[in-house]
Amino acid sequence: MDSFSETPSSHLYHIEPGNDTRILEFLLLGLSEESELQPLIFGLFLSMYLITVTGNLLIILATISDSHLHTPMYFFLSNLSVVDICLISTTIPKMLVNIQTQSKVITYAGCITQMNFFILFIGLDGFLLTVMAYDRYVAICHPLHYTVIMNPQLCVSLALASWFLTTLHSLLQSSMALRLSFCTHTQIPHLFCELNQVVHLACSDTFINDIVMYFGAILVGGGTLTGILYSYCKIVSSIHKISSAQGKYKAFSTCASHLSVVSLFYCTCLGVYLSAANNQNSHPSATTSVMYAVVTPMLNPFIYSLRNKDLKRALTDLLGSKPSQNKLW
């Protein structure tokens, strides 16, 4: 039998005293079980991974090397690039290893760990986009007080608060998953151990998990989106008061890249979870998850660099090895 069509067997679980079945391993079904498609999928995702890491790493190096980019906006952008590298590194390398070794197996500990870090980094994406929206709000609505309000201490505090809150959220969701018992159904129709997929494989009661999971999604996802929408409502109101068309365009252009990334991130996330609701155990959910778990981190550097003259200049200087002075904003 082809290794890409393996099914759960006795080596995936064992019976402990009291006839309680404890899962040892899961099977990640990925995008396709067709063995002839695996080299194509491997090449595609390896290319996307390398592009994502390279693009985001260039953003980080450009913001560090160019003194003109030592501002709050680029500080948060470099943080977002770090998180995007971590996000895609949480899922894709394991998938590539499984394809290369012709195995679909991920251990129970590995699955919980992967799920924990994925929740952490996807939540961080949302929080950082919210903080960046606040930064744009201050820059447009309170330009004269911008440097006073968005001081280095506040920027670092906002970044640390984002890490702290999302770490608590990911640990809560992961610890709730640890209380579940899994029986013989070990196939996850996904690229990685996604929380909703794993929880609904359990043979124990998942009611409390569902409550915590949906509450967390509303609090983190809904809370960050509300913060972004509030900031942009204030921004639109301020732009509307600008008399000249050129002034309006200039004010809006500072938000265009961020707004594009926000739209891509939240629209793909919403699409994934609507798809998951309608196709709980099918491959369409795995296919749509590629958009926010892989494509969005890959496109972010392009969106910001193509629409930002300062960043394009810094990248040109970086790739051309032109030295620039280094100082804090």
What are the tens digits of pLDDT across the range 206-242? Answer: 999 999 999 998 999 999 999 999 999 999 999 888 8
Query: End-to-end CA distance of the chain, in Å?
Result: 61
- Count of CA atoms in the C-beta half-sphere (13 A) of 37: 9
Q: In which band, very low, low, confident or very high, does the pLDDT at 159 lie, cut at 50, 70 and 90?
A: very high
Q: In which band, very low, low, confident or very high, does the pLDDT at 2 lie, cut at 50, 70 and 90?
A: very low
Residue 85 is predicted with a pLDDT of 96
Give the amino acid at 137: Y
Alpha helices in the chain, H assignment, sequence order: 38-65, 72-100, 108-141, 146-149, 152-178, 195-199, 207-216, 223-241, 245-278, 283-290, 296-306, 309-319
Q: In which band, very low, low, confident or very high, does the pLDDT at 86 lie, cut at 50, 70 and 90?
A: very high
Q: What is the pTM of this model?
A: 0.86
Mean pLDDT, residues 32-39 = 82
Secondary structure letter of residue 19 according to DSSP: T
pLDDT at 290 over 60: yes
pLDDT digits (tens, 9 = 90+) for 236-288: 999 888 888 887 888 888 888 899 899 988 888 877 766 655 555 455 567 77
Residue 19 is predicted with a pLDDT of 42
**Full set of structural domains in the chain with CATH:** 3-319 (1.20.1070.10)
Q: Provide the mean pLDDT of the chain.
A: 84
CB neighbour list of residue 17: distance below 8 Å, 6 or more residues apart:
none
Q: In which band, very low, low, confident or very high, does the pLDDT at 321 lie, cut at 50, 70 and 90?
A: low
Mean pLDDT, residues 280-298 = 74
Name the token pair of 24. 């040892």
pLDDT at 14 over 60: no
**How many of the other CB atoms lie within 10 Å of CB of 237?**
11
pLDDT digits (tens, 9 = 90+) for 101-116: 988 899 999 999 999 9
Mean pLDDT, residues 69-84 = 94
Closest residue by Cα to residue 101 from 190, 226, 8, 3: 3
